């Protein structure tokens, strides 16, 4: 009887050890899985999508290479000669699905919102890594500096939104619409034929270039020409 009792105790002890080991393994697995899930959850909800760079400087330099694309206030100036395509690279570490919605793009002048309409004044396309914004020629001409006595600094705001409903911190950038004049075709000095004689600097422009630059706008902010 004693031997049978010892055998039973030995079997029970082995079973208990096996069960304990299984519980430990399962506990470690569950805790590890829980920790991983918690870590992923934390990363997802603390990460954001944002714009990291754009091509406004490049477009401005194409418009006015002589001044590095900037006006006297060091603001980048875009041309209204054609549609302008602004490209924004997006940092999106969690690969959020970014969605289109009414508040994605907005424009302001002097803290006042511009009533710009999607489809008429601008269009855009958004993916998880890039936003392409096309500003229409008519919209640009409307806010060209020197037109209707306007001298405007446009503030563009982008608010990215994920498909889970989260709206990320807004991104702002500023620029003006100020089409650079065409290059002179010819610059010569002359002298008046009557006394007192005076030297005259004559600057000639190609009418075709003037027409291409300012075809449908009356630009009035060209007080001087620097040579």
- Residues 129-174: tens digit of each pLDDT: 999 999 999 999 999 887 665 567 899 999 999 999 999 999 999 9
Does 85 lie in the same domain as 38? Answer: no
Tens digits of per-residue pLDDT, 172-221? 999 999 888 777 778 888 899 999 999 998 888 777 666 555 555 555 55
Query: Domain holding 92: CATH number?
Result: 2.60.40
Residues 159 and 57 in one domain: yes
- Indicate whether 150 belongs to any domain: yes
- Asked if residue 107 has pLDDT above 90, the reply is yes
* pLDDT of 33 above 80: no
Q: What does the pLDDT average to over 53-59?
A: 95
| Angstrom distances, CA of residue 115 to CA of 119, 121, 136, 172, 200 | 13, 9, 14, 17, 47
Residue 70: other Cβ atoms inside 10 A: 16
Do the Cβ atoms of 87 and 59 come closer than 8 Å?
Answer: no
Residue 204 belongs to a domain: no
Is the sign of the CA dihedral 131, 74, 153, 211 positive or negative? Answer: negative
Q: Does residue 80 sit in the same domain as residue 125?
A: yes
Which band of pLDDT confidence, cut at 50, 70 and 90, is reported for residue 7? very low
pLDDT digits (tens, 9 = 90+) for 109-141: 877 888 899 999 999 999 999 999 999 999 999
Question: Both 23 and 71 in a single domain?
Answer: no
Q: Residue 64's pLDDT band (boundaries 50, 70, 90)?
A: confident
Q: Tell me 1's DSSP state.
A: -
* Cα(125)–Cα(145) distance, integer angstroms: 28
Domain that holds residue 27: 1-46
Supply the mean pLDDT for the chain: 81
What percent of the chain is predicted at pLDDT more than 70? 73
DSSP string for residues in 106-151: EEEETTEE----BTTTEEEEE-SSEEEEEE-HHHHHHTBTTGGG--
DSSP letter for each residue of 184-215 = PSEEEEEE-SSSSP-EEEEEE--HHHHHHHSS
């Amino acid at each position: 009887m004693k031997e049978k009792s010892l055998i039973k105790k030995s079997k029970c002890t082995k079973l208990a050890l096996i069960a304990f080991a299984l519980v430990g393994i399962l506990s470690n697995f569950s805790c590890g899985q829980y920790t991983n899930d918690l870590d992923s959850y934390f990363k997802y909800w603390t990460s954001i999508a944002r714009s990291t760079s754009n091509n406004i400087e490049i477009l401005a330099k194409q418009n006015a290479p002589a001044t590095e694309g900037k006006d006297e206030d060091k603001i980048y100036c875009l041309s209204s000669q054609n549609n302008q395509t602004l490209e924004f690279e997006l940092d999106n570490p969690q690969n959020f699905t970014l969605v289109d919605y009414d508040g994605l793009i907005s424009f302001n002048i002097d803290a006042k919102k511009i009533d710009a309409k999607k489809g008429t004044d601008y269009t855009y396309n958004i993916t998880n890594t890039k936003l392409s914004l096309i500003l229409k020629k008519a919209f640009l001409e409307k806010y060209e500096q020197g037109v209707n006595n306007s001298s405007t600094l446009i503030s563009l705001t982008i608010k990215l939104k994920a498909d889970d409903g989260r709206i990320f911190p807004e991104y702002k950038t500023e620029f003006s619409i100020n089409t650079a004049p065409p290059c002179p075709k010819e610059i010569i000095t002359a002298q008046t034929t009557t006394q007192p004689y005076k030297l005259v600097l004559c600057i000639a422009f190609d009418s075709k270039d003037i027409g291409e630059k300012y075809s449908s706008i009356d630009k009035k902010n060209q007080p001087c020409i620097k040579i």
